[in-house]
Amino acid sequence: MIASARRDPSAFAPLYEQHFQSVYAYCFRRLRTREAAEDATTQVFCQALAALNKYEHASFRAWLFAIAHNVVTDLARRQSTVARLEPAHDPIDTAATPEESALERESQARVADLLALLPEDQRQVVEFRLAGLTGTEIAAAMGRSRGAIKMLQFRAVRHLRELALDSPQADIPEAKHV
Amino acid sequence: MSDSERIQADVLDRWWDSYVDRKPAPVPNGQSDLTHLIRRLHEGTTVVHADSVLSDRLWQRVHAAAAAPPTSAPARWRLARMRLAPLAAVLLAVVLLGFAIASSATVQAQARRLGCRIPVFGIQDCNGLGLVATQPVSVTQGDLTLSVLYLVSSTQQTSLRMEVRGLPADLSSGRSPLDDPQLGPEQRAALQSTRVALRTDLGETLEAEPIASSDPNGAATYATLRALHAVDQSVTAPRLTTEIEWTLPPLNTATRSVEIIATGLYSWSVRVAVVPLQQAGLVSATENGPAITRDGISAWVDGVSRDAGGLLHVQLAGRASGGQLVGFGEVEPDSGVFGRALWDDSGQPYFDDARRCCPITDHTTGDTYFQELTFPNVPDGTRLRMLEVPYVMVRQQLPPAVLTIDLAGHAGEPIPLDTDLRIGHDVLRVVSASVTPDGALLLELDFGDWPNGRRLGLPLMISVNGQPIDPRSVRTVTSDLGNRRGFARQLTERVPLPEPAQSQLTLTISSPGVTYRGPWLLPLPATGLDAEL
């Protein structure tokens, strides 16, 4: 499939279809606005398509998320200046009431705020986990050893636990029961 | 890290692998708190579902970028930059674009989008007082080309976006500039220390802090290093392109030209002409519609624009005197009751696509709440008249009501109560209560039929014998409107009871706010919109 896509961009479509949802979701979580997530997702696949000849990873998904990480890092840097203007939110269960939707958005924002308190490499591991990557894929995406990833994520979770304990405001919301 | 911690890290890693694989392994000994936290992280992060329409739209952008030279979308620009974009050709394109802005309706539309829908910023205040640069300008010094991508001044701020092309990449890391584009330390330091000043033809000077000392949080002026891109990865000395965005105070509306002066290692200046939006042939899309005020709530259409993909963006705004406005009613076209709809002058409604695909985009600035709606199917030339909003939500601090329930002798059977609780200005009737076998309290409630056009909002905030119950753990088990429980009159709420079980329960019940029923009919801004939309 990748060999075909190298010759013909149209053949990239199945790879796009397969990974679009997870890449978009990852970008949306990191950037927190629909417009930025769309822009980032487009850039991720454009860059992947442009660099397909250089692809030599064991895992295409890991390689794609490595690109996604670079893209959202760039966009997040510029977005930091406008976060206060446009804190967008994840989609809300339409069964929720208006007030619950507002509360739920705040809860999701708290998760994002909590992750933002982690050192960048720890945060990155958790973000990749939330995107559904396995430990092996994360190691490939971050160019780190498997053992290093294990340590990073262990430290990250312990760090999150401390943060959640230290700050009631930063508590991680329970699952919604609607 | 000790051996013990390494083992814990290894065990946690395997558990997490199994969890993301949806085959969760047993919780490892001594790590239940960590695995619980991980579960909550996953659960607290709503899965984002992008529908096929969005997927298709972005694929078109990706495919077009791969197949054709870029035209307008930023992603296409960047792909083109990565692929090659010889400098001379780019400069020529920039010059041609400048001429095109003055003559092409298509480019004018894009310029209007920049003026009124600044990427990332969303719809901004660029009303009739706004100024915009009429053409991009570039200057070259040695290997570097600096371009003013756009300069827009609203009544609130001036945004200046510049591109620096031809920066040498740092190859010391051994990584490809495509994978990890990095400036060399000297270049980065020079860029970050660059100061920018705007000197107007009125003799006024606005200065912005350099990136290195910028504080985007609350400062009137600041700068941001934007995306960094490799231009040409095939040569031995790859060059990078970066963008910097500067935010400064607004320009005097009488300004007609601005000299942009950058000082630092790269010292240069360039003059750009600015004109009022209307004189530039650009229709202001963000002129406010008239506000509608009712029940102490003012709401208005704060801006309308159409993006390059044809999507119509409508920004709503509002404020409430007795609380914080937190939302405009969601779309529900299928029910025939609720829905946010644009109406044209022939009586045709167009519903927004929030329910179908899109996350909510909203923010609060000061006491004003903004929410952006998008409408996918409004044809060009449609004469739009008004926006219908079914309800607005206002968060308020409402005093709780107290209810005491004696459970003794009523095991497993409903306890008729028929008690009216006054919460703020609204009344909530508690019809009955019962305790389930697993120890939860069921409250049968009647919110009334929108008395006075309003009702209390969910979720209820409940304390039992002084112990607060997490609102997210209170579930609706029956509703006379099914899924639409937010507008139901009769509900049964299931409240988990704290341990140990008590024979008498003292409940304090409140609500996070009030929903005001519409419809709210908000006129659209009149100036120029009919012609544009």
Tokens describing residue B62: 């990706």
Mind telling me how many Å the CA of B109 is from chain A's nearest CA? Answer: 19
Chain B residues within 8 A of A21 when measuring between CB atoms: 49-50, 55
pLDDT band, residue A145 (cuts 50/70/90) = confident
For B393-421, b where at least 16 C-beta lie within 10 A, e where not — what string? Answer: bbbbebebbebebebeeeeeeeeebeeeb
Verify whether the Cβ–Cβ distance A50 to B66 is below 8 Å. yes
Mind telling me how many Å the CA of B225 is from chain A's nearest CA? Answer: 6
CB atoms within 10 A of CB B501: 10
Mind telling me how many Å the CA of B409 is from chain A's nearest CA? Answer: 31
Q: Is it the case that residue A78 has pLDDT exceeding 90?
A: no
pLDDT band, residue B477 (cuts 50/70/90) = confident
Verify whether the Cβ–Cβ distance B178 to A85 is below 8 Å. no
pLDDT tens-digit profile of B249-269?
888 888 889 999 888 756 788
Residue A140's nearest CA partner among A48, A36, A91, A69 is: A69
Verify whether the Cβ–Cβ distance A175 to B43 is below 8 Å. yes
Tokens describing residue B424: 């703020």
Verify whether the Cβ–Cβ distance A94 to B330 is below 8 Å. yes
Tokens describing residue B509: 């019940």
How much is the pLDDT for A97?
A: 62
B475 strand-pairing partners:
B494
**Count of pairs with CB atoms under 8 A, one residue in A, one in B:** 278
How much is the pLDDT for B375?
A: 86
ipTM of this complex prediction, to 2 decimal places: 0.78
Q: Is it the case that residue A81 has pLDDT exceeding 70?
A: no
Mind telling me how many Å the CA of B149 is from chain A's nearest CA? Answer: 15
Chain B residues within 8 A of A176 when measuring between CB atoms: 43, 472
How much is the pLDDT for B413?
A: 81
Of A54, A150, A172, the CB nearest to B40: A172
Q: Is it the case that residue B529 has pLDDT exceeding 70?
A: no
Verify whether the Cβ–Cβ distance A151 to B9 is below 8 Å. yes
Verify whether the Cβ–Cβ distance A90 to B73 is below 8 Å. no
Q: Once rounded to an integer, what is the mean pLDDT over residues B301-323?
A: 82
Chain B residues within 8 A of A170 when measuring between CB atoms: none
Kindly state the percentage of chain A with pLDDT values over 70: 69
Q: Is it the case that residue B462 has pLDDT exceeding 70?
A: yes
Residue of chain A whose alpha carbon sits nearest to that of B482: A95
How much is the pLDDT for A57?
A: 67
Verify whether the Cβ–Cβ distance A12 to B120 is below 8 Å. no
Kindly give the pairing relationship between strand B117-118 and strand B440-446: unpaired
How much is the pLDDT for B171?
A: 66
Cβ-Cβ contacts under 8 Å for B326 (sequence gap 6 or more): A98, A99, A102, B369, B393, B394, B395, B513
Verify whether the Cβ–Cβ distance B41 to A172 is below 8 Å. yes
Q: Is it the case that residue A42 has pLDDT exceeding 80?
A: yes
The lowest-confidence range among B79-88, B149-158, B164-173, B246-255 is B79-88
Mind telling me how many Å the CA of A59 is from chain B's nearest CA? Answer: 16
How much is the pLDDT for B351?
A: 83
Verify whether the Cβ–Cβ distance B9 to A154 is below 8 Å. yes
Highest mean pLDDT, choosing among A12-16, B111-115, B303-307: A12-16
Q: Is it the case that residue B163 has pLDDT exceeding 50?
A: yes
Mutation target vs B (from A28, A34, A108, A153; most B CBs, 10 A cutoff) = A34
Kindly state the percentage of chain B with pLDDT values over 90: 11
Mind telling me how many Å the CA of B283 is from chain A's nearest CA? Answer: 23
Of A29, A75, A102, the CB nearest to B326: A102
Mutation target vs B (from A21, A97, A129, A146; most B CBs, 10 A cutoff) = A97
* A27 alpha carbon, distance to own chain's centre: 5
Verify whether the Cβ–Cβ distance B483 to A135 is below 8 Å. no
Q: Is it the case that residue B126 has pLDDT exceeding 70?
A: no
Chain B residues within 8 A of A11 when measuring between CB atoms: none
Q: Once rounded to an integer, what is the mean pLDDT over residues B64-71?
A: 52
Chain B residues within 8 A of A29 when measuring between CB atoms: 45, 48
Q: Is it the case that residue B325 has pLDDT exceeding 50?
A: yes
What average pLDDT does the structure give for chain B? 72
pLDDT band, residue B36 (cuts 50/70/90) = confident
Higher pLDDT, A71 or B190: A71
- The C-alpha atoms of residue B89 and residue A152 are separated, in whole angstroms, by 46
Mutation target vs A (from B1, B2, B17, B45; most A CBs, 10 A cutoff) = B45
* A167 alpha carbon, distance to own chain's centre: 24
Amino acid in position A96: A
Residue of chain B whose alpha carbon sits nearest to that of A22: B48
Q: Is it the case that residue B123 has pLDDT exceeding 60?
A: no
